[in-house]
Amino acid sequence: MGDRLAGKIALITGGGSGIGEATAQRFSAEGARVLIVDINGTNAERVATALREQGGEAGHLAADVTDPEAVQGMIQHAVKTFGRLDILHNNATAAEMGSVADLSLEGWNRTLAVNVTAPFLATKYAIPIMLDQGGGAIVNTASISGTRGDYGMAAYNAGKAAVINFTRSAAIEYASRNIRMNCVCPGAIDTPAIRALTGSGAETPHMAVAGGSVDLPKLPEEAQAKVRERMGTAHPVGRLGTPQEIANLVLFLASDEASFITGAAYIIDGGLTAHTGLPAMR
């Protein structure tokens, strides 16, 4: 175990799987005490239990991060349990698929609620705590989908673009008071969400959202393999990213090593957005 976050208290939303789970493991391994928050309480408990079994200190909480009372409660729970809050990782996400004309207003609102309103609420309630204790670090999970458009993902694209600029605005407001705020913009990462979208996860693929989940169509095995291959090869490195690779960047931004970094949006996508998308001229 390291000590890059020794003595720090961290809260991670969407911490029950994928990037959130990997970040919890990295934070704990570097000495942080961690509160795992997830809409799926079973997953949150599983991650927290694993961290404790590895010698760390961790708690868990089931919460709907779009509910203002629940978000205020999770911040208060972290402070009551651990005494302070040094790091907030707003990582929970959701996506309603569909072309603009076919996308329901409910789906649009739900996607923006999880991706935009939830980080706003958590940040709003965490900042007074951090100000009172002399500072803190906030890291939001955005996406390269907040910097470019995707077919059939208008709501998600809009939400992640909002996260990037919200991060910048909040960062400059509190930079002089020792609160740093940055975001990470991953490419396609091999998480349960990606496996759900490709139909290669659970028997009935679904994506967790506030208040429940959305069922997704199950693709034939051959189609699953093709979709995953296309997603992987779209990245110049030739593969999907791993949750651990994103967690490494989140750890850096949350640590004192990034003390002069705030208001930044870090692209971590295996080179995907570094090229135009045109075929190779050979």
Q: What pLDDT is stored for residue 50 in this prediction?
A: 98
Instruction: Quick: pLDDT tens for 36-65.
Output: 999 999 999 999 999 999 999 999 999 999
Are the beta carbons of 216 and 207 closer than 8 angstroms?
Answer: yes
Fold of 9-189+241-271: Rossmann fold (3.40.50)
The torsion angle over the Cα atoms of residues 109, 113, 115 and 116, rounded to 10 degrees, is 110
Active site residue 156: yes
Q: Is the pLDDT of residue 126 over 70?
A: yes
Instruction: Quick: pLDDT tens for 224-276.
Output: 677 778 888 889 999 899 999 999 999 999 999 999 999 999 999 999 999 98
Instruction: Quick: pLDDT tens for 149-200.
Output: 999 999 999 999 999 999 999 999 999 999 999 999 999 998 877 776 665 5
How far, in Å, CA of 144 to CA of 244, rounded?
A: 17
Are the beta carbons of 60 and 36 closer than 8 angstroms?
Answer: yes
pLDDT > 70 in the chain, percent: 89
Q: What pLDDT is stored for residue 207 in this prediction?
A: 43
How far, in Å, CA of 28 to CA of 56, rounded?
A: 6
CA-wise closest residue to 272 among 241, 226, 228, 227: 241
Q: What pLDDT is stored for residue 219 in this prediction?
A: 58
Sign of the Cα torsion 13, 18, 19, 25 reads positive
Instruction: Quick: pLDDT tens for 89-118.
Output: 999 999 998 999 999 999 999 999 999 999
Q: What is the pTM of this model?
A: 0.91
Q: What pLDDT is stored for residue 229 in this prediction?
A: 81
Mean pLDDT of 198-204: 52
For the chain, which residues make up each domain, given as ranges?
9-189+241-271
Q: Which of 125, 151, 156, 266 is catalytic?
A: 156
How far, in Å, CA of 21 to CA of 24, rounded?
A: 5
